[in-house]
A and B are shown apart, each in its own frame.
Chain A
Amino acid sequence: MKLKYIAISDIGPFRGRHEFDFSGSEGKTGFAIFSKNGRGKTSLFNAMQWCLFGVVYERGSVRGGKWAEGKARVVVGDYSKDKPLMNQDAYQEDKIPEMGVFIIANDGDKDVQISRSAKSRVGSMPRHDEGLSFQLQVTVGKKSASEKLGQELIEEMFPNELRRFFFIDGESLEEYVDLVKAGQVGGIKDDVEAVLRIPALTRGIFDLEKVMDEVWSEVDSETKTMRKKIKSANEAGDILKDIKNMKEELRGKESSYNKTNSKFERLEEELKGLEESASHIQNLEKLRLKKEGLETTLKRSSDSKKSYASNAWKALLWSKAGVLHDEANSLMGEIQNRDYKISSTEKRLRKMEEELSSWSGVCSHCEQPIDDAEKHKRGIEGKIADTEEALSVLRGGSDMSLNEASSKLGDLAKLSPPNGTRKMIADSNRNWAEDKASLDNVREELEKEEGRGLEGVDSEELYKKFELRGTMRTSLVRMRPSIDELQQEIRRSEIEYKKLGGEEVKSRDPKKAKLKETIGILLNVMKDTLAEYRDDARKEVEKIASESFVNIINAPEALRGIIIDKNFNGSIKGADGKAITMPSSGQEMTMTLCIMDALRRASEVSAPIFFDTPGRSLDDDHKKAQLKYFWSLQKHQFVIFPHTGEYMIEETLQEYGGLIGAAWELTWAADLKECMSCGTGDPLKTGSKMRCIPCGYEWDISSKQTTVRVLEV
């Protein structure tokens, strides 16, 4: 990518729009933007980064042996501490603050336009970047895109990962020198690998492995499907065998059925017209069967009748014995009652007799003399006499003992028939009579039917034929469901067979197997390439860096180039081919620049190089050699942002005029040594103003807004 034109608006000290035209350089690749401190060199440097990548980082540093970017800069915020990118006056004065960068360039034969802006969405003085609307519009050749896709278009030309090799900050470079020098673990390994496209291999291996997993999974699934198909085919084979067997069995059954059926039909034919005989025979058969049944029933009711009749005498006798039994039962109750009364009366009598025999006239309970004792004694004696008389009456009743009464009752109970005997005898008699009558009726009917006879018909033979017809019909009826069931089973099996897809098994997809094989080979090729190329890449960077270094240092007898060891640490190669032990800081700085240049060249990314404060830490010889070398590069534009103390403007333009395409100076009004109106030198400073004595033009010198002055090359 080559710059043709840049315009910036309201960024850093640049208030309003300022333009830088790179188009008239006529093939020259050197550009310089000079200024004193604070005039906007770094702001312009940052504006370019912001336009290309949408973010500007604070100065990076080496952490843990690796380079780390600083934190991202804000566009708007607190101007006393955050160092926002937007011009402070624009932020504070404009109703809708906005900053922007516009670039016109070309990439090979394609025209490139990039426009990025940040504009307030919330009116004046938005407090944070969240209050801004960011817009990006990119056109490359015929392609045009905005926002994320626009960023992708930019990064196809200018990868963000490589920006550090194109935006070089002289101040950070000193830290980078430490990183390059021996002693820092890993050193610039990540940078070398990034520039030489090693991520293409490492991330490519990752992608290939993912595709491999995907294909494996598909092949595996295919294998499972195939296994399933084979299993299905086996099952289908078994089902097919079953179907064949069932069909065979069905044929046998149908044949048998058909034979029976045709015999049955013939028999039916034969028996047609013999329906009357058939009716007679059927009646005979029916009556005979009925007779057999009734005979059995009668036998059963006869047995039952006999059984109940065995208890008939008890039923008859009980009409008398039952009364005696009840009387005996009642008598037994009376005897039991009498015996109890005698026993209790005897007990009472004994107690009174004892009381009388031990009479003392004193109460047996309270041991006090009883009043009227004699009268009381006579009372007892009277009671004893009454009791003895009552006892005598009780003893004078029936002389039957309880045992005798119980025995009598037991004997009478033996004559008792079972419960319901009378009813059962009656029922069994009635049943027997009914069965007998039914049998007699059937016998009479059968006798009549047998007596009918049929002329010219052998009823016995006919009967057998009808019997055979019945058997055949039964047999046919029994055979039919079995045949139907078998047919259904065959149909079910045929459906199942079709569902399993028959016995055909498709072979595995050969394309996937081939793809898997190719990926496997490709993975090995990439791993082998990575191993082989890593070392080649290191050597390549070492070779290019050495060429640049020798060119810039211009002391081939003493310093022969740069060594980058296997740990990617850099050192300067002395005359003996070994690393020199005490390089100067200028030599180390040059070595670092050369390694960065080598990395950039090896990256094959064609983009401008922006170098802020390029002469820092270099002596005059190295500074000159550096400019001469970089401005002679034909592939890259090399834009430096020197402090006017690093490179003197007049001297630089004079010495390198042939290599410089354009140069600018960034100034404040106070820096002007010539009249802005007539160009006369030595204006007179009066307070906060400068005055041109010849033409009288006055200008304010208190402003810190930058103006861009195009220098004549």
Chain B
Amino acid sequence: MSGVPAGLKKIFLKLGKDKGLNEDLLVDVLDHFVKNQYLSQGDRTHVKNELRRILEKHEV
């Protein structure tokens, strides 16, 4: 899907980095959320699993 709105990305990265989070993690998480934003809550099991995988990948 097309890109993440610049304003959203800017704020998210700024606040995340201020809290000490890694920029790559923030970018991956935001991309993942934007890509799956229109999936309803009932269909989000794989979104949640992939999110956890992203988080763990960056924590290792």
Q: Are A and B bound to each other? A: yes
Binding site for B on A (CB under 8 A): 155-157, 159-161, 194, 196-197, 199-201, 203-204, 206-208, 210-211, 214, 511, 514-515, 518-519, 521-522, 524-526, 528-529, 532-533, 536-537, 540, 602-606
Question: Which of chain B's residues have a CB closer than 8 A to the CB of A201?
Answer: 8, 33
The answer to whether A537 and B29 have CB atoms under 8 Å apart is: no
Give chain B residues whose Cβ lies under 8 Å from the Cβ of A605: 1-2
List 17 A–B pairs whose Cβ atoms lie within 8 Å, in order of A's numbering: A157-B1, A197-B5, A197-B8, A197-B37, A200-B33, A203-B44, A204-B51, A206-B44, A211-B52, A211-B55, A511-B56, A514-B59, A524-B19, A533-B12, A536-B11, A540-B5, A606-B2
Contact of A204 with B1 in the complex, beta carbons under 8 Å: no
- The complex places the Cα of A526 from the Cα of B25 at a distance, in Å, of 13
Whole-angstrom distance from the CB of A315 to the nearest CB of chain B?
Answer: 108
Indicate if the CB atoms of B30 and A200 lie closer than 8 Å: yes
Which B16-45 residues have a C-beta within 8 angstroms of A? 16, 19-21, 25-26, 29-30, 32-39, 41, 44
Kindly list chain A residues whose C-beta atoms are within 8 Å of the C-beta of B7.
196, 533, 536-537, 540
Contacts of A207 in B (CB 8 A): 33, 44, 47-48, 51
State the B residues within 8 Å of A (CB): 1-5, 7-8, 11-12, 15-16, 19-21, 25-26, 29-30, 32-39, 41, 44, 47-48, 51-52, 55-56, 58-60
**Chain B CB within 10 Å — which of A155, A604, A606 has the most?**
A604
Q: Dominant SS at the A interface?
A: helix
Pick from B2, B32, B60: contact of A511, CB under 8 Å: B60
Residues of A within 8 A of B5 (CB): 196-197, 537, 540, 602-604
Contact (A532, B48) CB under 8 Å given A525-B19, A525-B21: no
Please list the 5 inter-chain residue pairs (A to B) with the smallest Cβ-Cβ separation, ordered nearest first. A204-B33, A200-B37, A200-B33, A199-B37, A200-B34
Give bound CA distance, A160 to B40, whole Å.
13
Q: Do the beta carbons of B41 and A206 come within 8 Å of each other?
A: yes
Q: Which single member of B2, B11, B51 contacts A208 (CB below 8 Å)?
A: B51
Please give, as numbers and ranges, the residues of chain A lying within 8 Å of B1 by CB-CB distance. 155-157, 159, 605
The answer to whether A160 and B38 touch (CB under 8 A), given A525-B21, A529-B8, is yes
B6 and chain A: residue at smallest CB distance: A604
Q: Which residue among B1, B30, B34, B44 has the maximum number of chain A CB atoms within 10 Å of its CB?
A: B1
A207, A529, A533 — most chain B CB neighbours (10 Å)? A207
Chain A residues near B51 (CB-CB < 8 A): 204, 207-208, 211
In the docked arrangement, what's the CA distance between A492 and B57, Å?
Answer: 46
Q: How far is the CB of A601 from chain B (nearest CB, A)?
A: 10
Q: Which residue of chain A has its CB nearest to the CB of B41?
A: A206
- The answer on a CB contact under 8 Å between B48 and A525 is no
Q: Which of B2, B20, B25, B37 contacts A203 (CB 8 A)?
A: B37
Distance in angstroms between the alpha carbons of A208 and B37 in the assembled complex: 13
On whether the beta carbons of B52 and A521 are closer than 8 Å, the reply is no
A155 to B58 Cα, complex, angstroms: 28
Whether the pair A515, B21 counts as a contact (CB closer than 8 A) is: no
Cα distance A540–B9 in the bound complex, in angstroms: 14
Q: Per a CB cutoff under 8 Å, which of B34, B39, B60 touches A197?
A: B34
| Complex: chain B residue closest to A213, CB-CB | B48
Task: For the complex, give the distance between the alpha carbons of A201 and B30 in Å.
Answer: 8
Using Cβ atoms and an 8 Å threshold, which residues of chain B touch A532? 11, 15
Given contacts A204-B29, A536-B7, contact A604 B41 (CB under 8 A): no
Cα(A203)–Cα(B25), bound, Å: 18
Residues from chain A with a CB closer than 8 A to the CB of B41 are: 203, 206
Min CB gap A68→B, angstroms: 17
Q: State whether A197 touches B4 (Cβ < 8 A).
A: yes
Residues of A close to B19: CB separation below 8 A: 521, 524-525
Given contacts A194-B38, A518-B59, A525-B12, 11 further A-B contacts (CB under 8 A): A156-B35, A159-B38, A196-B8, A197-B37, A199-B37, A200-B4, A200-B36, A207-B48, A511-B60, A533-B7, A540-B7
Q: With A and B bound together, what is the CA distance between A380 and B31 in angstroms?
A: 147
Residues of B within 8 A of A606 (CB): 2
Inter-chain contact A529/B15, CB cutoff 8 Å: yes
> In the assembly, what is the distance between CA of A196 and CA of B55, in Å?
24
A559 CB, min distance to chain B CBs, angstroms: 26
The answer to whether B16 touches A511 (Cβ under 8 A) is: no
A519 touches B55 (CB 8 A): yes
CA distance A247 to B7 in the complex (A): 75
Which residues of chain A are within 8 angstroms of B37 by Cβ–Cβ distance?
A: 197, 199-200, 203-204
Closest residue on chain A to residue B54 by CB atoms = A211
Q: Given that A204-B29, A515-B59, A536-B11 are contacting pairs, would A161 and B48 also be in contact in the complex, using a CB cutoff of 8 Å? A: no
A203 and B12 contact, CB distance less than 8 A:
no
**C-alpha spacing A423/B18, complex, angstroms:** 118
- Contact between A203 and B36, CB atoms less than 8 A apart: yes
Question: Could you tell me the distance between the alpha carbons of A528 and B8 in the complex, rounded to whole angstroms?
Answer: 11
- Max chain A C-beta neighbours (<10 A), residue from B16, B25, B58: B16
Given A201-B33, A211-B51, A532-B15: A537 and B38 interface contact (C-beta under 8 Å): no
Nearest A residue to B1 by beta-carbon distance? A156
Residues on B with beta carbons closer than 8 Å to the beta carbon of A208: 51
Residues from chain B with Cβ under 8 Å of A204 in the complex: 29, 32-33, 37, 51
Q: Complex: how many Å from CA A528 to CA B26? A: 14
**Assembly CA distance A161 to B30 (angstroms):** 19
**Chain B, residue nearest A201 (CB):** B33
Query: How many angstroms from the CA of A603 to the CA of B8 in the assembled complex?
Result: 11
